[in-house]
Structure 1
Amino acid sequence: MPTIRDVAQHAGVAPSTVSYVFNGSRPISEETRRRVQEAVDALGYHPRASARTLRSSRTHVIALALPRPAGRRNAVDGPFAIAVSDAAVRLGYDLLLTTSQDKAEGLRRVALSGLADAAVLMAVDMEDARIDVVRELAFPAALIGRPADEDALPWTDLDWEEAAALAVRELAAAGHREMVYLAPTEEEVAGRRSYALRGIAGAARGARGTGATVTVAHAVDDPAEVARRLRGLLVERADGGARERPTALIVQHPSAHHHILTSMTDAGLRTPEDLTVVVIGAVPGDLSGRRLPRVELPVETLAGEVTRLAVTAATALRENTAGDAEAGPRLLADTVGHLLIAPALLPGDTPLTAPRA
């Protein structure tokens, strides 16, 4: 069966443009509309019959789409899965977990299976391919993550950009002039993961006007490799010693701070004597992170709101699209909701003040 991406490729436009032609949520030129319709006719694209069938039944199940490589652990996956499950139960729903790494096709399988009324999507990319699937099938969904097109679907997120900027500004005010921003992995940045790109952008924004220099590095899961990189960034002089040694490390990677202190010890560094460490995205209740200054990830609030948004979309779609094959995409476009949570920098056992030379 042809997909919305097939139609877009045939018409020479973006998948989102095809969605806008169908749901009428954005102005589209007559020439573009004509090309899309010609592609639809040529390919025999008819997604609405399956969407109507899905909306005709109710499962009282919410799917949580949490893409993850087999065997790899992430500190935030478990707390979010539990929090979304609890939120779903409070609303009278069960939770179905899907971990397919093929994000778009994994969601398509769940939507077409009829096993769930709606989905909550994690690991959100800036231009997330699952948004096209949701529009194509008129399948209710909400995101834990802020996409580039903020009006595409309902979403909730921590303001990662402001969190990074806040950390840099506060460290600069405490006397730090050279900092390292330990961002998420190179793989996540290359994949345009939303929280990774927004954090890096925030670190650059925070440095402007403060007189501070922020060097961006990328986290890895191997503690020995983290120690090696820290030694290169914080101890050795890649430029022959002309640059001052960084006195602050901002850690955004959700799992790296669990072994960052051990890695620092292996690199011959102490905190706070040699290096001030600030964590962005610490999980509330994580004792290993509470000793450090941190911006906590509001897991319960994000999970509760995103689940409510997904259920609200499912209810609206079921109750308002009977007999109207094209109403689903229009309704989804009209029921977008957002929750962007402002960060707060919480104190730890160690001060922000820059170590003395």
Structure 2
Amino acid sequence: MATIRDVARRAGVAPSTVSYVFNGSRTISEETRRRVQEAVDALGYHPRASARTLRSSRTQVIALAVPRAAGLQRSVDGRFAIDVSDAANALGYDLLLTTSQEKTEGLRRVALSGLADAAVLMAVDLEDARIGLVRELSFPAALIGRPTDEGALPWTDLDWEAAAALAVRELVAAGHRDLVYLSPVEAEVAARRSYALRGIAGAGAGARESGRRVEIVRAVAEPAAMTRRLHALLRPGPDRPTALVVQHPSADHVVASAAAAGLRVPEDLTVVVLGALPGDAASRSLPRVELPVERLSKEVVRLAVAAADAARERPENEPRQPGPSATGVLLSPVLLPGDAPLSASRTHQAR
């Protein structure tokens, strides 16, 4: 899709001149205006109607971009939608929800529509294509997720690496010898989703620090296939794990599969959940690191609004500053106790 720079190049003018044509902030000759309009028509360029092009206007709307497949139900998405909405309302903003699976094109439509002052992006990949898009369009945005380029856009996230390493260290200190890290589903890992890869990296770091081997097992989305994988993992034998660290939303599925394999949780198998939703009935009896949804929501809305304010104040012909100016807010994990201690049973230790 054409950018304002493409229009300027075709019309033989500066990008700032194209902006002046759109927003009427300076007197432009009819000849120049005609050349810009011809370039716009030829390239199919659609200028935004807010922020940079009509700088005095405010929609008082924040867009929440949550890419999701049709029919897929994830409780975490609903919790974030509610808490981000509450945080936005507290600052005088309404929320626009977009769930397009086309992550970049869906966001492009929102950015060019002029319906929102800024966006909050979820399901962040380590190298997320949406980062380059919003920077190209000069559309203010903030991320729930920690990208590889931490200076590209404002972001906030739970420290998944620290959470995984903490869980492994605590289990080893409690006497566990055979540990398995159940990662998010294979599709999330393959997509290089930030939280998934950082969690796996943290499990590896915890293993190295503790001098123990931790087997990394990827979850699968299809319930029957996940059950088969867990049954194979928990089958009787000298290598059966004594503890599972689960970075997978279905903690109840793991517990049910353990029961089907003849194991009691926590007597025979200790299960630690990473990213549990606060108040979730399936995981509140288990040791866990909860996902601080409310705090993350407040932080990301604050960052998005600050980015929108900064964009309005920046002179039209001043380019966006690269990298280091962006802000990252990383939240430290807290391991909450379950109904039973982490310590391995004597049977565990004998193995």
Band of TM-score, shorter chain: 0.7 to 0.9
Number of the residue aligned with 1:111: 111
- How many angstroms apart in 2 are the aligned matches of 1:288 and 1:152? 37
Q: Match for residue 197 of structure 2?
A: 197
Match of 1:274 in 2: 268
The root-mean-square deviation of aligned C-alpha atoms, in Å, is 2.3
Task: Judge conservation of contact 1:219–1:256 (CA < 8 Å) in 2.
Answer: no
Q: Who is 1:342 aligned against?
A: 332
Identity of aligned residues (%): 67
Runs of 5+ unmatched residues, structure 2: 7-41
- Matched AA of 1:271: V
- The answer to whether 1:313 aligns with 2:307 is yes
Structure 1 residue 260: Cα displacement: 1.8
Give 1:170 deviation, angstroms.
Answer: 0.1
Aligned mates of 1:195, 1:54 — CA distance in 2:
37
The separation in 2 between residues aligned to 1:86 and 1:351, in whole angstroms, is: 36
CA–CA distance in structure 2, aligned partners of residues 55 and 263 of structure 1: 56
Q: Residues of 1 paired with 2:54 and 2:179: CA distance?
A: 52
Alignment of 1:217-236 (within 5 A): 217-235=217-235
TM-score (ref. length: structure 2): 0.83
Query: Which is further off, 184-193 or 52-61?
Result: 52-61
Structure with the greater alpha carbon radius of gyration? 2
**What is the distance in 1 between the residues matched to 2:125 and 2:167?**
23
Per-residue Cα deviation, 1:10-53 (whole angstroms, up to 9, x for no partner): xxxxxxxxxxxxxxxxxxxxxxxxxxxxxxxxxx9998964732
- Report the CA distance shift for 1:131/1:47 in structure 2 as closer, same or farther (over 3 A): farther
2:80 is matched with which residue? 80
TM-aligned CA distance change 1:3 to 1:178, over 3 Å: farther
Q: Does 1:261 align with 2:251?
A: no
Q: Which residue of 1 aligns with 2:133?
A: 133
Distance 1:54 1:63 in 2: 18
In the aligned structure 1, how far is the partner of 2:52 from the partner of 2:87?
A: 27
The 5 A counterparts of 1:163-202 are: 163-202=163-202
Segment of structure 1 superposing worse, 280-289 or 263-272 = 263-272
Task: Give the structure 2 partner of residue 147 of structure 1.
Answer: 147
What residue ranges of structure 1 are gaps of 5+ in the alignment? 7-43
2:14 matched to which residue of 1? none
Letter in 2 for 1:304: K
Aligned partners of 1:102, 1:339: CA distance in 2, in Å? 27
Deviations 1:321-353 (A, max 9, x none): 3xx2343x22x7565111101111100112211
Query: Are 1:288 and 2:282 counterparts?
Result: yes
Paired letter, 1:98: T
Q: Show CA shifts across 1:300-334 (max 9, x none).
A: 1110010011001101111233xx2343x22x756
Amino acid at match of 2:336: L
Matches within 5 A, 1:82-101: 82-101=82-101
Task: Return the alpha-carbon distance in structure 2 between the equivalents of residues 109 and 211 of structure 1.
Answer: 50
Q: Go from structure 1 to structure 2 and tell me whether the alpha carbon gap of 1:47 and 1:207 turns closer, same or farther (over 3 Å shift).
A: farther
Q: Structure 1 residue 54: deviation in Å?
A: 5.5
Match of residue 239, structure 2, among 244, 253, 256:
244
What secondary structure, in the 3-state scheme, does the structure 1 residue paired with 2:64 have? strand
Say whether the 8 Å CA contact 1:161–1:199 is kept in structure 2.
yes
Q: What CA distance in whole angstroms lies between the structure 2 residues aligned with 1:199 and 1:159?
A: 9
- CA shift digits 1:100-156 (9 cap, x unpaired): 111111111000000000000000000000001111000000000000000010000
Change (3 A) 1:226 1:268: farther
Q: Output the amino acid matched with 2:212.
A: A
Q: Tell me if the contact between 2:151 and 2:324 (Cα under 8 Å) persists in the aligned partners.
A: no
- CA positional deviation for 1:160: 0.1
Residue equivalent to 1:325:
317
Separation (CA, whole Å) in 2 of partners of 1:244 and 1:117: 55
CA contact (8 A) 2:230 2:254 kept: no
Q: SS of 2:53's equivalent?
A: helix
- Compared CA separation, residues 153 and 2, structure 1 to 2 (3 A): same
Q: Distance in 2 between matches of 1:137 and 1:205?
A: 38
- Give the aligned length: 310
Equivalent AA in structure 2 for residue 303 of structure 1: S
Partner of 2:295: 301
- Counterpart-to-counterpart distance in 1, 2:226 and 2:269: 15
Give, in whole Å, the separation in 2 of the partners of 1:233 and 1:260.
11
Residues 175/160 of structure 1: CA separation in 2 closer, same or farther (3 Å cut): same
What's the secondary structure of 2:151's corresponding residue?
coil
Query: Residue 346 of structure 2 is aligned with which of 331, 336, 356?
Result: 356
> What TM-score does the superposition give when structure 1 sets the normalisation length?
0.82
SS class of match (1:64)? strand
Tell me the distance in 2 between the aligned counterparts of 1:342 and 1:173.
Answer: 20
